[in-house]
Amino acid sequence: MDDWVASHAADIAHRAPAELAALVAVSSPSGDADGAEACAGICAAFAPDGTAAERIACSSPDHAPDLLLRLHGTGTAKVLLLGHLDTVVAHDAHRPVKERDGRYFGSGTIDMKGGDVLALGVMRALAERPADFGQVGLLLVCDEEWRQAPFAHAARFAGWDACLCFEAGERAPDGGDAVIVRRKAAGTLKVTARGRASHAGASPEKGRNALLALAEVARHLAARHAPDGPDHLTAVPTVLTSGDALNVVPAAGELICDVRADELAPIEVLIASVPAEHEGVELTTETLRLWPGMHTADMAEPVLAAAATALGRPVVPGARGGASDASHLATTVPLTIDGLGPRGGNAHHPDEFLLAESLRPRAEVALAVAQAALG
């Protein structure tokens, strides 16, 4: 293995448990400004000497500013490291790190404060070789989990040579190391129904049942669910709310549906297929968020080959259905590689964990990929 990769991976793995504990000790659900500020301060403290810290407006209104850390070198290559500081866990459900049976349990350990820790370690390692880069940036946003506004930062990094995102890593089918070069496009639909209330027992025929109309829309969307089809389209109704009283025909309601596909076009077709009315109930469809797909395998191939040479083992390109900010950056930075974080499981779950044994090998992968991207 390349000496630089081996030595710095050992250092990253050694420091990671304490840095992870410090970050996870802060409860930082999306939208909480105090939590985001505390996490930003911790990350700035872990950054290498000479790092410039900049706070830039978050994509989502009323959020704390995002954090951009920058290192300036004497070379020409510009590489962006990418992560997020927010979690889906509310304050009252937050859990600090507890180590048990080779796992670090805690809120946001794998999604994605463990990845942030590795990104900071890679940045410290790169700081020792300034002749190899013009800029290294680390962008840490605080609204990834619940963002509905358009992503604000892609244009800022147009022309950069690479974007490396530190969402959770995974194993290849043969048990080796994998990274992510393909992600599905994702959309969140909201269908609002406006009907007419009436007494459910005395005069139900005078009402226009919003709940039944939304149920029909849910069936309409679910019928187009085709994960094995040419577009790998998934359409999953996730939330249905309607009705205010047990004896009143519901006059209003909302349906939320998660939709994903290889590209945005099938999602847009599905959105357009939702009817505007059902049995006298007015239906309004709104797209809460729309994330592009990521397809960077061709650009990543020579980088992963060079990284494998430095590691002495393969780095396998993989795909993932979940959305990531890497997809947004890939629209302006063609060489975007994701899944460079540690391995773990149960993201968005009370028993979320990071595998301790993954810290060093995943640090090796991240360093080798970063080195190859600079080269």
Each residue's pLDDT tens digit, 227-286 = 999 999 999 999 999 999 999 999 999 999 999 999 999 999 999 999 999 999 999 999
Q: Are residues 179 and 216 in the same domain?
A: no
Q: Are residues 178 and 189 in the same domain?
A: no
pLDDT digits (tens, 9 = 90+) for 18-61: 999 999 999 999 999 999 999 999 999 999 999 999 999 999 99
Contact 132, 374 (CB under 8 A): yes
What's the pLDDT band for 321 if we cut at 50, 70, 90? confident
Q: Are residues 63 and 147 in the same domain?
A: yes
108-118: average pLDDT: 98
Question: Cis omega (within 30 of 0) on the bond before 123?
Answer: no
pLDDT digits (tens, 9 = 90+) for 200-237: 999 999 999 999 999 999 999 999 999 999 999 999 99
Contact 93, 35 (CB under 8 A): no
| Residue after which a domain boundary falls, among 254, 271, 290 | 290
| Residue after which a domain boundary falls, among 267, 290, 313 | 290
Write the CATH number for 196: 3.30.70.360
Q: Are residues 176 and 308 in the same domain?
A: yes
Confidence at residue 257, expressed as pLDDT on a 0 to 100 scale: 98
What's the pLDDT band for 195 if we cut at 50, 70, 90? very high
137-149: average pLDDT: 95
Q: Are residues 146 and 204 in the same domain?
A: no
**Please, which residues have CB within 8 angstroms of residue 300's CB and are 6 or more apart in sequence?**
179, 181, 317, 335, 336, 337
| Residue after which a domain boundary falls, among 245, 271, 290 | 290
Q: Are residues 236 and 303 in the same domain?
A: no
Q: Are residues 214 and 350 in the same domain?
A: no
| Domains: count for the chain | 2
Confidence at residue 323, expressed as pLDDT on a 0 to 100 scale: 85
Write the CATH number for 29: 3.40.630.10
Q: Are residues 346 and 226 in the same domain?
A: no
Strands 103-105, 52-56: pairing kind: unpaired
Q: Are residues 50 and 153 in the same domain?
A: yes
Q: Are residues 133 and 204 in the same domain?
A: no
pLDDT digits (tens, 9 = 90+) for 167-176: 999 999 999 9
State pTM to two decimals: 0.92
Q: Are residues 190 and 337 in the same domain?
A: no
Confidence at residue 284, expressed as pLDDT on a 0 to 100 scale: 98
Q: What is the mean pLDDT of the chain?
A: 97
What's the pLDDT band for 320 if we cut at 50, 70, 90? very high
Confidence at residue 293, expressed as pLDDT on a 0 to 100 scale: 94
Q: Are residues 222 and 321 in the same domain?
A: no
What's the pLDDT band for 375 if we cut at 50, 70, 90? confident
Question: Which residues form the domain of 205?
Answer: 185-290
